[in-house]
Amino acid sequence: MKDFLGTYSALLESRISAMSFGKQPPSLYEPIRYVMRLGGKRIRPMLTLLSYALFRNDVRSILPYAVAVEVFHNFTLMHDDIMDRAPLRRGKPTVHEKWNLSTAILSGDVMLVKVYELFSTLDPITFRTTVEAFNACATRVCEGQQWDMHFESANNVTEAAYLRMIQDKTAALLGFSLELGAILAGADEIARKRLREFGLHIGTGFQLRDDLLDAYGDPGRFGKQMGGDILANKKTFLLIKALERAGPAEKKALTYWLTATRFNKKKKVEAVVAIYDQLKIPQLTRRKADRYFAKAFNLLEDLPESAARENLRAFAHLLMDRQN
């Protein structure tokens, strides 16, 4: 497993480092280089390479298209950070904090344009198939983000509604990343759908774990403001289940913190986490995530047995066990 991870990571980082986004004006392009240099785990382009390798061996040939997925992902993060007023991304200042709001919006817009530019080198038939799938994915991501913002001021957000939201906002891009590998390899529609659904299940479990890490992760490893979801009153799976399970005392305390306009940030996070602990919300969240991971691995069994399939399985297990 270490062999393929090291090889694929090196290929991706080399390609990303060599990319030229533009030069003038510097204030437009430097934020793009900055956010791409922040690194990250490159999960989505890695999934594209792993998916492609199920069918063909020449993964180097699709590096530009795998990188396109990473460019789009970072575009969504740049705009997501604006909407969330997030101060940190991967342990560093977010683009709107380091530069300004307008620059972050424009630099993100250019990143989206670059995605289409990268895809434009595909042959016409593959380009059309790829862009149709990408457009469907990108639309879902925007819909998911809008639902996420809507939920901040909404009452009675249900578990089902929340799960649909994260499948749009987060899981859809993992599904597309895997489907893209299959498209580029010339795989049939059945394989494309199976890999897309595998990504949707993995992505849903991944986001549930991310919700948990926001409240319980190690600040030094997580790279983002801890308790950010709690401070923003985000209707995460944790909060939704806590409100469902809360008795009168817990509900009163949660209502206080959800409606307070002036508060000590550290005290709010600690108080809400204590309620989560009391109601055993972390255990419930892990079980829910594990059910989605199990669904994903069942789909993987339908693919032909190969070293590439086991590499994909191993990488999915790393996502399950992530601590940052």
pLDDT band of residue 224 (cuts 50, 70, 90) is low
For the purposes of burial, counting CB atoms within 10 Å of the CB of 278, is it exposed (0-12), middle (13-18) or buried (19 or more)? middle
The Cα 172–Cα 209 span in angstroms is 16
In this prediction, residue 318 carries a pLDDT of: 87
Mean pLDDT taken over the chain: 92
Residue 23 belongs to domain with CATH number: 1.10.600.10
What would the DSSP string read from start to end of 25-59?
SHHHHHHHHHHHHT----HHHHHHHHHHHTT-S-G
Closest CA to 170 of 292, 44, 47: 44
What confidence score (pLDDT) does residue 96 get?
A: 94
Average pLDDT over residues 276-298: 96
Residue located via tokens 């399970």: 245
pLDDT of residue 249 exceeding 70, the answer is yes
Count of domains observed in the chain: 1
Mean of the pLDDT values across residues 36-47? 91
Q: Report pLDDT for 3.
A: 81
The structure's pTM equals 0.90
The neighbour count for residue 262, using CB atoms within 10 Å, is: 4
Q: What is the pLDDT of residues 51-96, one digit of tens each?
A: 999 999 999 999 999 999 999 999 999 999 999 888 888 878 899 9
- 88: β partners: 93
Integer Cα distance of 278 and 275 in angstroms: 5
Q: Answer for the pair 145, 83: CB distance below 8 angstroms, yes or no.
A: yes
Give the chain's length.
324
Residue 1 has pLDDT above 70, yes or no: no
Helices (H), the chain: 2-18, 26-37, 43-53, 63-84, 95-98, 101-119, 124-153, 159-166, 172-185, 189-216, 219-222, 228-231, 237-245, 248-259, 265-278, 281-300, 307-320
Instruction: Give the least confident one: 106-120, 214-228, 236-250.
Output: 214-228
Answer whether 29's CB lies under 8 Å from 23's CB. yes
pLDDT tens, position by position, 89-134: 887 889 999 999 999 999 999 999 999 999 999 999 999 999 999 9
pLDDT of residue 155: 83
Confidence band, pLDDT 50/70/90 cuts, at residue 226: confident
Confidence (pLDDT) at 2: 55
pLDDT at 323 over 70: no
Whether the predicted pLDDT of 324 surpasses 60: no
Q: How far apart are CA 47 and CA 53, in angstroms?
A: 10
Domain containing 227: what range? 2-320
The span from the CA of 169 to the CA of 146, in Å, is 9
Q: What is the pLDDT of residue 5?
A: 85
221 pLDDT band, cuts 50/70/90, is low
